[in-house]
Structure 1
């Protein structure tokens, strides 16, 4: 394929390597719908002396923090992004110092440290193709915005210095398809799996669906109900609360597009 043909491809038609090349080139946008059929991942990089607590936090809170891979200190590539570079291949990053956001670079190379251990966590974008294949529309893709995400009143199980609230993503689903949404996504436990809540957002301590903590609000059509999935932004909320000296994450909704296939995370 020529470079001209490659440039004309829609985001969904790109290979993961082509998507990551776009992001290295400066494209900044949410990744829902990119590289159809390929899994996406959340990113959290922390100093080595915090890595065990992050790993144990993920083990104790597997719904929001399913681990797909770990890059050891000094590693910047791995099986999920062969030939790639974790410092450049995400559309946008967030840099934290003592829990405070200090930068949102599109290239994290200048901020990277050799002692950073990088966790790649499952992302619910991975099961969206499966929802759409069974006729359940995905509002943020249809509306061209980032997925809405909310901090909840539910607490994650803490580990040592690390604690924080559960964060959820929300997708409106026709009321008569709610059970289908649960069935479809329950087959993807490595990327958050079945919803954690269906219906009244107050049950999660969410006061206003029109005011997400991360991402963008979406229109909810008549006859649709909000459905909430555990979200990989949960570790970022824990970083803000727990204040490690340094951390780097993806910007919410701006994921690592991996070479893994969605189907590889599907169970019977």
Structure 2
């Protein structure tokens, strides 16, 4: 875990791209990213399954198995651990570590904080070398602390976020994650509060990476953005061809993509 943990530096945050299959992960690593995550949305969509519904345990493990032995550091989005039973979540984390993952992201989905804390404790026990990134969805899913300010970002929400993250840190989380939070002042307050890296989800409409660095954020995740952009590019290309327009944007060649497969020679 140390090499992965060392990539989380205040002032120079880890930019974590998230892959959805073997080719996308290898292509990202080929661009110089030392660590690559997975996106639960991509894993779910590839199998025609719902994201965030604990339906993709097997798909997630298969993806980790495909990527865990590759020459980059792998951290896996495991939704809520795919179970309400902490021991089952711990066993899943052990399996991830066994195939080469160095990190896991666990989300609380606004379920009971004590249950999520128990999952974190179980993971720490079952896979002590795994970097546990504990996510709270107070900003991502909403529902807490809208104090009438019109954006659901009131003091009640702030207090609930800190209550949950305090519990997860106490349970042994190595990092804390608040997707959906974009307010610089509140990001800075969380950075100051915790002795572990704060992970923020990048948004095209939110702060840029240099701003996150100035705030002391330790990790900036891209989540499902790259997967959605790739899907959008495919739809745009199909529409352009159908309309007789020139296809826009860059695309790897057939041979370049083929070279990302196991058993194919490195093109460069």
> Into which bin does the TM-score normalised by the smaller protein fall?
under 0.3
Q: When you count helix as a share of all residues, which structure comes out higher?
A: 2
Larger strand fraction of residues: 1
TM-score, length-scaled by structure 2: 0.25
Structure having the higher Rg: 2
